[in-house]
Amino acid sequence: AQSVAQPEDQVNVAEGNPLTVKCTYSVSGNPYLFWYVQYPNRGLQFLLKYITGDNLVKGSYGFEAEFNKSQTSFHLKKPSALVSDSALYFCALSYNTDKLIFGTGTRLQVFP
């Protein structure tokens, strides 16, 4: 069965420092992978996706993620965090289906 794991419930980082939000997945083939961000009382906003091709994917708001097949990971990164990046981040995958399988979410807190 396919699954997504976000091992950290919360990530704290100082403004201006690089940030990483971790995501690992389990699937027998090649998945489509996504990152979404959710602000309080709002729906999810699409950040970026990996379908095929270059393992480094660049997305919205300066975020990027690297697909690592050998480690089955798709970590979200940003070189310099902003306080406004504080939100809930979800990693998700789809595989041979319309459905998205979500991780449990990681709350990012950026301190000034």
Partner 1 sequence: GAVVSQHPSWVICKSGTSVKIECRSLDFQATTMFWYRQFPKQSLMLMATSNEGSKATYEQGVEKDKFLINHASLTLSTLTVTSAHPEDSSFYICSARDSYTFPYQETQYFGPGTRLLVL
Report if residue 82 touches partner 1, rule: CB under 8 A: no
94, 102 in Cβ contact below 8 A? no
- The CA dihedral of 68, 73, 79, 83, to the nearest 10 degrees, is 160
13, 19 in Cβ contact below 8 A? yes
Q: Strands 106-111 and 10-14, how do they pair?
A: parallel
Query: Among 7, 17, 18, 42, which residue interacts with partner 1 (rule: CB under 8 A)?
Result: 42
Report if residue 99 touches partner 1, rule: CB under 8 A: yes
Question: What binding mask, one character per residue, do residues 1-40 give for partner 1 by CB under 8 A, x or -?
Answer: -------------------------------x-x-x----
Residues that bind partner 1 (CB under 8 A): 32, 34, 36, 41-46, 49, 51, 90, 94, 98-100, 102-105
